[in-house]
Amino acid sequence: MPAHFLYARFPERSHRAAVDWLRAVEDVLAVHGDSVRVAGAGAPVAGTVVGWRLLTENHRELGRSARFSASEGAARADVAGLISVAHRLSVRSDPEPGMRTTGWFVVLDEEIIMIGARRYENRSVARNAGSLAVRLLLAMREESRAGSSSELVR
């Protein structure tokens, strides 16, 4: 498999690492909030929260979830849903003029689903990184379909 997901668990939403995780999402919303949203981002979740990371074959983080789930099972269900709609995802760039860097994020029906793990020197490089993440999701989708059809043949 060319990519895989890693789940990150935080003791609570207010944990420093969890707050840092969502800071990039808040930055995107500050600039693009009039045209995109994050469903359930502000919904209170008591206790442990879980996010997911999309990692490449060599374990480099490409992107991460734009919101947290209440459990690993719920995060896995989010990932399964993401893979099933990978063909409908759209990549957008997120320039930061003062820093002269650009990030990326992925939307589905104007909802931010995934956000890039790092910033890049220009928009085209950022978009290429986002496009790679979507292509990896599409490959996972095709792999799961092939697995389903081969199981039916047996």
The model's pLDDT over 144-154, given as tens digits with 9 standing for 90+, comes to: 888 754 443 33
The model's pLDDT over 72-94, given as tens digits with 9 standing for 90+, comes to: 999 999 999 999 999 999 999 98
Which residues contact residue 72 at a Cβ distance below 8 angstroms, ignoring those fewer than 6 apart?
7, 9, 50
Predicted TM-score (pTM) of the model is 0.86
pLDDT band at 99 (very low <50, low <70, confident <90, very high): confident
The model's pLDDT over 19-29, given as tens digits with 9 standing for 90+, comes to: 999 998 998 99
Q: Which residue in the block uniquely carries the two structure tokens 């095709």?
A: 142
31 vs 102: CA distance, rounded Å? 12
Per-residue model confidence (pLDDT) at position 130: 95
